[in-house]
Amino acid sequence: MLELPSWLPSPVQVAVPLALAASLALVWRLDRPRGRWGRRLRSRFVLGVPWGTLASVCGVLAVYLFVQQGAARWRAPLTLPFSSWSYLYPTGWLFAAFSHAGPGHLVGNLTTTLAVAPLAEYFFGHFRRERGHNPFSSWRSNPYVRAFLVFPAGVFVVGLATSLLAWGPIIGFSGVAFAFVGFALVRYPLATVVAVSAQGVVRTVYRALRDPVAFGSGGTSFSQPWWYGIAVQGHALGLFLGVLAGVLVLYRRRERPDALGLWTGAVVLGVSMNLWAVWWYRGESSYVLYRGLGVLFVVAVAALVAAAATADARSLSLPLVEDVTRQQVGVVALLIPLAVMAGVAIPVNLTSVDGASVPGEGPGIETGGYTVTYAEGVRNEKVSVVDVELFGETTNVTTSGVIVVNDDREIWTQQVPKARLASAGRLGVRVGGLGWSEVVGVQRRGWSVADGPTAYQVWLHGPDDDGWTHTYASDPATAGPTLANRTVDVVPANGTFYLRVSNDNATFRTAPMPAVNESVTIGPVRFEREQRRLFAAVDGTRLRIATRENRN
């Protein structure tokens, strides 16, 4: 059978775009009068193309490929130095809104942008709408300037705003994507709902082109709630910025959308885009989702957007205020939540982790100003940067896992949760900056005792190290079964696992864990190791006492 070269697309990858093109051609043929969509697009876009959207997408993709080094490591980009850690670290807040945590994060935001941003750009328009106006009479109305400079510049400014006004470290273009949604929503609510739904089509087609056939199997892996990590505050910030800009354009053009349609579109979009997913920490690996409060928030935002966008220029009689219009009140109403967000964000982002101690008792790996270590039950210096207790919740939370600290970049973060390291066994933590990166290896080994916990240890491997550095050992793990009135413990210490046997008189005997297919005797108990399993035998009784952790 003839095999095609690996670089050639598969028949399915060729068939998908051909089928799309044929389907669109058929619809174009059926639509009458032909050419009206082209005329509409050319009336708002230079050559009928949303150049600002394409320029923005290319810019974000360039950051991922070249700044985050995604071209060399598509699935493992450099992320730590490109999050908005603090106002004292400009590189972070300059790049945070345009960087991404991985390919899935990037594709999700770019597909949303490709689906919604053209509608927002259509509302903005490359051509001024006044009759008889010469678009080339000034640089402000020049369609090429508006397409290639003004719209991308607006995207950049909104991106910086979502970074500077974030409540703590953020990374990703989603805030800007929500701004596109908010801007388009106030003028085209139904079309915006359709566009947001269409981004799922765009994403599915992309995945079909990239991987026409996918394989999967059952297994166990580390997972967190789907809503953990959703930057609801950042999404709401982007939405309000987009709505405010859109409302100002409506006022200037003296356009007034339908209030019910706008409210309905805002509710549908807020729910479908998970703007209701308000959550917080509840312990080290537990989180609480305020679903009811989130739905109330979405409904309130929809009412505010509808009221502001449909306000007219008539005067209002308000106590202590004279000569104020409904539109001015609408603008102030949209500015209030933005002011509240800024009031929280500014003190949070002005804080510094300079002088914060590196957690953990064991040695860490230092490279390029970063310190990578492992610790458990330590105070999260970033979440707890401002000590607040409200409605039974607190910012004073603890964390466990691989911790990365860099005072120069104001970085203090749990980069790998404890449970994820336990599931993976071994992984790498990428640190770096503009133009460089290094990987620090982390591995965990452990023994799970019968009817009991797991005893484990953690090692680190620096980029220039020949071997592994032991950094953490857990408490001993006591097996549930007793053997001849004796208790068995697995004791981790100094990179070695020991077996300890104690009796009623509290006398202890220890011996190193036997190697594979070997045995060791402690008093009357004989321990036999078969691959990952450890058995104990005494007085003719033999049972499994411990199992080595399985690495996925």
Alpha-carbon distance of 337 to 326, in angstroms, equals: 18
Tokens encoding 180: 């596109």
Does the residue 484 lie in any domain?
no
For 526, other C-beta atoms within 10 Å of its C-beta total 15
- In the block, residue with structure tokens 């801007």: 183
Q: Could you give the number of structural domains in the chain?
A: 1
Nearest to 175 by CA among 237, 253, 91: 237
Rounded Cα–Cα distance for residues 510 and 468 (Å): 25
Is residue 495 over pLDDT 80?
yes
What is the rounded distance in angstroms from the CA atom of residue 527 to the CA atom of residue 516?
11
Q: What Rg, from alpha-carbon coordinates, does the chain have?
A: 29
Query: What is residue 1's predicted lDDT score, i.e. its pLDDT?
Result: 47
Please indicate, yes or no, if residue 409 is contained in any of the structural domains: no
Q: Does residue 371 contact residue 429 with C-beta atoms inside 8 Å?
A: no
For the chain, give the percent of residues with pLDDT over 70: 89
pLDDT in tens, 5-58: 665 677 777 787 888 888 878 877 777 665 677 778 778 888 888 999 999 999
CB-facing half-sphere around the CA of 18: CA atoms within 13 A:
7
Average pLDDT of the chain is 86
Q: Locate 358 and state its tokens.
A: 């590196």
Residue 463 lies in a domain: no
Phi then psi dihedrals of residue 403, to 5 deg: -110, 135
Check residues 32 and 125 and name the one with the higher pLDDT: 125
Determine the Cα–Cα distance for residues 418 and 491; give it in Å rounded to an integer: 19
Mean pLDDT of 459-463: 94
- Residue 77 falls within a domain, yes or no? yes
- pLDDT (average), residues 93-122: 93
Q: Is the pLDDT of residue 353 over 80?
A: no
Measured distance CA(239)–CA(178) in Å, rounded: 5
Rounded to an integer, the average pLDDT of 348-375 is 84
> What pLDDT, in 10s, does the model give residues 438-454?
999 999 999 999 999 99
- Over residues 510-537, mean pLDDT: 92
What does the alpha-carbon distance between residue 365 and residue 363 come to, in Å, rounded to a whole number?
7
**Within a domain: 390:** no
pLDDT per residue over 248-257, tens digit each? 999 998 888 8
Where is pLDDT greater, at 496 or 23?
A: 496
Parallel/antiparallel/unpaired status of strands 496-502 and 487-493: antiparallel
Neighbouring C-beta atoms of residue 326, cutoff 10 Å: 16
Whole-structure pTM value: 0.84
Asked whether the predicted pLDDT for residue 231 surpasses 90, the reply is: no
Contact (Cβ atoms closer than 8 angstroms) between residue 507 and residue 500: no
Domain limits at 37? 11-214+225-349
Q: Phi, psi (5° rounding) for residue 535?
A: -110, 150
pLDDT of 511 higher than 80: yes
Q: 358 or 221: which carries more pLDDT confidence?
A: 358
How many residues does the structure list for the chain? 552
Q: Is 537 part of any domain?
A: no
User: Is 434 inside any structural domain?
Assistant: no
**Is the residue at 274 inside a domain?**
yes
Closest listed residue to residue 344, CA positions, set 180, 147, 108, 164: 164
Using DSSP's 3-state secondary structure scheme, residue 318 falls into strand
Stretch 528-549: mean pLDDT: 91
pLDDT bucket at 394, cuts 50 / 70 / 90: low
- The structure tokens listed for 426 are 């071994």
pLDDT tens, residue by residue, 153-185: 999 999 999 999 988 888 999 999 999 999 999
DSSP state of 483: B
Q: Label residue 128 by pLDDT band (50, 70, 90).
A: confident
